[in-house]
């Protein structure tokens, strides 16, 4: 288990991380989210010992991380780094050996990983001759091939189309099921909501939300209402609890000040019987992110 306890890091007068604490267990995925400049990458760099915290402690299994522990970490930086003139097979072999894998095991594993991520190209191709998406998949394989106990992924979905994003998601879930502890940052709240077990949201280096994704959403109340009925926009706007309304034909998306208003709207909508849709849910993680962190990037 990775534990980050009361971590602080400053650069001159600027505080990048401010008394940050969280933990991630084996077989668990933790999402670290926040605006640009919120402290996500600085946190990763302190875990990896690229930066030294001003205060606080980082431990793995209740002990400070040592050289052996770092060999069991897989790290994908936001700024990708491959050797463009090196062949794909040589590149993957090189990174796998850095993490202590034996050559025979590497040769057995590489074809399986290439197939899993559907890399288009041959192992003898130079990395620079692959498409951008396939280069990214090669770097992902280099990060994961040694089946690390701790995986740190900084914006791993950046630049991936939906098909390749699904392949990456499957790879992350495979490692989770194998017992890896996984932390990744993302601006894509759809990916966050789909696979995160726990969530830590940073704003100006401070933790502003922490916990299970479902519990965080429920804590904001069922303030989103999706409705298709014979009620008109004018009738819905008349409810004082309706804060905002979006309309697509006969379908409405309401934002409520008070979740209890849903009962009154349901009664009015079903007065004449069946309606195609009535769904009252907590706000999406994207909406919570905008509410807590602000809509605009820093």
Enter the pTM of the model: 0.83
pLDDT digit string (tens) for 249-291? 899 999 999 999 999 999 999 999 999 999 999 998 888 888 8
- How do the pLDDT tens digits run along the chain, 298 residues long? 999 999 999 999 999 999 999 999 999 999 998 888 899 999 999 999 999 999 999 999 999 999 889 989 999 887 777 888 999 999 999 999 998 899 999 999 999 999 999 998 899 999 999 988 888 889 889 999 999 999 999 988 877 788 888 888 888 899 999 999 999 887 667 666 778 889 999 999 999 999 998 899 999 999 999 999 999 999 999 999 999 999 998 999 999 999 999 999 999 999 999 999 999 999 988 888 888 876 443 3
Residue-range domain boundaries for the chain: 2-217, 221-281
Q: CA 56, CA 69: separation in Å to the nearest integer?
A: 19
* Residue 249 Cα distances to 231, 246, 255, 262, 298, angstroms: 12, 10, 17, 21, 36
- Per-residue pLDDT reduced to its tens digit, 128-147: 999 888 888 898 899 999 99
Q: Are strands 181-185 and 29-33 parallel, antiparallel or unpaired?
A: parallel
CATH of 221-281, one of 2.40.350, 3.90.25, 3.30.70, 3.40.30: 3.30.70
Q: What CATH homologous superfamily does 2-217 map to?
A: P-loop containing nucleotide triphosphate hydrolases (3.40.50.300)
Q: What is the DSSP string of the chain?
A: -EEEEEEEEEETTEEEEEEEEEEE-TT-EEEEE-STTSSHHHHHHHHTTSS--SEEEEEETTEE--HHHHHTEEEE-SS----TTSBHHHHHHHHHHHTT--HHHHHHHHHHHHHHTT--S-TTSBGGGS-HHHHHHHHHHHHHTT--SEEEEESTTTT--HHHHHHHHHHHHHHHHTT-EEEEE-S-HHHHHHH-SEEEEEETTEEEEEEEHHHHHHHT-S-EEEEESS--HHHHHTSTTEEEEEEETTEEEEEES-TTHHHHHHHHHTTTS--SEEEEEPPPHHHHHHHHH-SS--
């Amino acid at each position: 288990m990775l534990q980050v306890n009361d971590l602080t890091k400053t650069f001159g007068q600027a505080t990048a991380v401010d008394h940050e604490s969280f933990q991630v267990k084996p077989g668990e995925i933790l999402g670290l989210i926040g605006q640009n400049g919120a402290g996500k990458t600085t946190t990763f760099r302190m875990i990896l010992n690229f930066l030294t915290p001003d205060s606080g402690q980082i431990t793995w299994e209740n002990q400070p991380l040592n050289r052996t522990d770092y060999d069991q970490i897989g790290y994908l930086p936001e700024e990708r780094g491959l050797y463009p003139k090196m062949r794909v097979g040589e590149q993957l072999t090189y990174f796998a050996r850095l993490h202590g894998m034996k050559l025979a095991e590497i040769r057995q594993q590489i074809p399986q990983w290439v197939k899993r991520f559907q890399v288009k190209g041959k192992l003898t191709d130079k990395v620079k001759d692959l498409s951008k998406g396939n280069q990214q998949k090669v770097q992902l394989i280099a990060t994961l091939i040694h089946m690390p106990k701790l995986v740190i992924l900084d914006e791993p979905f950046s630049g991936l189309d939906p098909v390749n994003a699904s392949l990456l998601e499957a790879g992350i879930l495979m490692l989770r099921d194998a017992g890896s502890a996984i932390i990744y940052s993302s601006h894509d709240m759809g990916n966050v909501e789909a696979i995160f077990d726990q969530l830590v949201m940073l704003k100006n280096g401070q933790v502003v939300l922490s916990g299970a994704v479902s519990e965080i959403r429920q804590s904001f109340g069922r303030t989103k209402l999706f409705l298709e009925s014979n009620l008109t926009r004018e009738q819905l706007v008349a409810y004082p609890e309706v804060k905002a309304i979006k309309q697509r034909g006969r379908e409405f998306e309401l934002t409520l000040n008070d979740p209890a208003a849903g009962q009154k709207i349901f009664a009015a909508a079903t007065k004449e019987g069946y309606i195609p849709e009535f769904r009252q849910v907590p706000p999406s993680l994207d909406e919570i992110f905008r509410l807590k962190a602000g809509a605009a990037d820093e």
